[in-house]
Amino acid sequence: MPRPVFNGMKQRLLTGLQSSGALHIGNYFGVLKPFLDIYRDYESHLMVADYHALTSLRDPEALRANIYNVVRDYMAVGVDPNECVIFRQSDNQDHTELAWVFNCMVTVPFLELAHAYKDKVAKGLEANAGLFTYPMLQAADIALYDIDVVPVGEDQRQHLEYTREAVGKLNRAYNAELLKEPKEMILEGVGVVPGTDGEKMSKSRGNTIPLFGTTEEIERAVMSILTDSKGDRPEHVYAIHRLLKSEEELAPIYEANKGRYGDLKKQLVADLEAFIAPMREKRAQITDADVRDVLTAGVEKARTTSHETLSRVRTAIGINL
């Protein structure tokens, strides 16, 4: 497959994960796996979104541990730090500065329409100002690096629409092409990864299967998957199983165990263990010092780009003297 190019160079791509808790298989199949499949074809940026985590996490020790863990997770699944800029959001204050500029460009009614905000508040998450303005920090994350494409599932399309709106408002306000409007890369077959209750897998719902869990933790999570007593196939179990195997591979398994939900769950446990075990072993070898080295090198590369971008914006809006 030929590498995508833009003006004779590789296009830039960015994705990231919050450091708000242990990663689960929804994070892997929704974000990490799609990134793994394409990141070498782009000038890729992989961000630990620790400021974003503050919208819901109030445990400093947990946040610090999660930052290390997220980078370990990236490396354990196969991301090569030499072929990708891996950095931490909070190591680069350009993010919060550009987010403030964007906040001054958009309206309260515009932010109130955000699907993610409305959904999280409806589920009981505190409606704090950080959660409300989250899309503008996310827009800054993307715009700072002149990103061309952001890989997302269909359910995240609005994130990119909000980024383009913020960038467009800034460009029009100062009559200049200050920032690039990114495009979403809708990943085919990637969308909502089901949790153990059939809803979207989410740390906040507690319906996850841990990505690097022990055999016992994986088994406990799988055995808790809700099943419908009607029909021969437990659909929630099957939906998760399809992440690991094709319909053709699963057809004889589900036919042979028709109506035997416990046996099908045991098969899912075995397949998940076979999938997770090699990554779990690799992850155990990655030290805190390894993580610090990766983040230090990554943020230096990230700042080189973001400082240029922010300087351009500061000059245009009248901050630079």
Q: What residues act catalytically?
A: 120, 200, 203
Dist CA 183 CA 161 (whole Å)? 9
3-state class of 95 per DSSP? Answer: helix
Residue 153 tokens, joined: 């599932």
Gyration radius of the chain over CA positions: 21
Query: Which of 133, 111, 171, 183 is closest to 309 using CA atoms?
Result: 171
Q: Classify each residue of 59-79 as buried b or exposed e, where b means 16 or more C-beta atoms within 10 Å of its C-beta.
A: eeebbeebbbbbbbbbbbbeb
List the beta bridge partners of residue 5. 10
Burial class of 130 by CB neighbour count within 10 A (0 to 12, 13 to 18, 19+): middle
Residue 124 tokens, joined: 């009981």
List the beta bridge partners of residue 18. 49
> CA separation (Å) from 208 to 122, 218, 244, 283, 302?
20, 10, 16, 19, 32
